[in-house]
Amino acid sequence: MEQGEPAPFHNSFPYPMPKVLAFFCHPDDIELLCAGTLRHLVQRGWELRCVTMTGGDLGASTGTREAIRSRRLKEAEAAAERLGGSYACAGLDDLAIHYCEEQLRKVTRQIRDFDPDVIITHSPDCYMLDHEETSRLVRMGSFGAGIPLFEACGAAPTSKVPALYYADAIEFKDKFGKPVEAGFYVDVAATFADRQEALARHESQREWLRSHHGIDEYLIANERMARECGEKASARSGGTTITHAEGFRQHLGHGYPQRNILAEALHDLALVVP
């Protein structure tokens, strides 16, 4: 992937540039899995919204859940702003995400409010059930957002099904420890510093891990994940060296867009694996 001025994105949408929704479970999941890609899109004119299912209310060893949630919501908003986007929370609780009608309505409401062209969410296969259930809910919400008779907290239905993408599973493995391979990669070497700075906005998590490890494990782990993904991309590229990458799979089920909008938009940075 050669660096330099990218060719213009062929925009077939009836408005200036598309919109991307990063819809994940907890505050900081976005920054650990796809923030470099999101930053690339923002730099090319895309509108970004970051949404989490929860406020990360169990993400500390002490304090009340409400106090933890309040602090982490502010951190998530600051991280989204660092990437150039806005932030919202679906208002659910940690360790309580499950596919049901009530939660589906809340997820669908968030999708309808933003009306994205592209959604990125968790891998359907991951170590944590909260992540897997989020993936299921976002998948159904992306489809149901355009169904007029599905009531979603008063939000008007959308006119389209957005293109849906799954980010890499944490540690690139499913719950059985088997590899989960990406369908394509995005070179994020040029935006990795933005990913790190956005993650650093989650100061409560950074402090928590520093107190446990005595080092800045939070940012070190983020670097390690991006480099490991870069190694995977390099190994499948046929000779290109990629230092930092993020991997994705596109949902290609019936009714979903088949055009790989994300890879097209970042064509000079994307490596599509046959």
Residues of the chain with pLDDT under 50: 1-8
* pLDDT for res 2: 40
Q: Would you tell me the crossing angle of helices 65-83 and 203-213 to the nearest 10 degrees? A: 110
Residue 136, domain member (yes or no): yes
194, 148 contact by CB (below 8 A): no
* pLDDT for res 5: 44
* pLDDT for res 17: 79
Alpha-helix runs per DSSP H in the chain: 29-33, 35-43, 65-83, 101-114, 129-144, 192-200, 203-213, 217-235, 261-265
> The CATH number of the domain where 73 resides is what?
3.40.50.10320
* pLDDT for res 100: 98
Measure CA 49 to chain center: 10
Q: What is d(CA 71, CA 191) in angstroms, rounded to the nearest whole number?
A: 26
Domain residues for the domain of 259 are 19-272
* pLDDT for res 200: 96
Q: What is d(CA 237, CA 23) in angstroms, rounded to the nearest whole number?
A: 28
Q: Tokens 């995977």 label which residue?
A: 232
Residue 4, domain member (yes or no): no
Residue 206, domain member (yes or no): yes
Q: What are the pLDDT digits (tens) for 136-146?
A: 999 999 999 99
104, 59 contact by CB (below 8 A): no
Residue 25, domain member (yes or no): yes
Residue 191, domain member (yes or no): yes
Residue 11, domain member (yes or no): no
Question: Six-digit token pair at 51?
Answer: 């949404």
Q: What is d(CA 93, CA 26) in angstroms, rounded to the nearest whole number?
A: 9
* pLDDT for res 6: 45
Backbone angles phi, psi at 62, to 5 degrees: -140, 165
SS3 23: strand
Nearest to 133 by CA among 252, 26, 257, 255: 26
232, 245 contact by CB (below 8 A): yes
Q: What is the DSSP letter of 255?
A: T
Q: What is d(CA 29, CA 235) in angstroms, rounded to the nearest whole number?
A: 25
Residue 81, domain member (yes or no): yes
Q: What is d(CA 256, CA 269) in angstroms, rounded to the nearest whole number?
A: 24
- Report the number of distinct structural domains present in the chain: 1
Q: What is the DSSP letter of 147?
A: -
State pTM to two decimals. Answer: 0.93
Q: What are the pLDDT digits (tens) for 104-117?
A: 999 999 999 999 99
Residue 14, domain member (yes or no): no
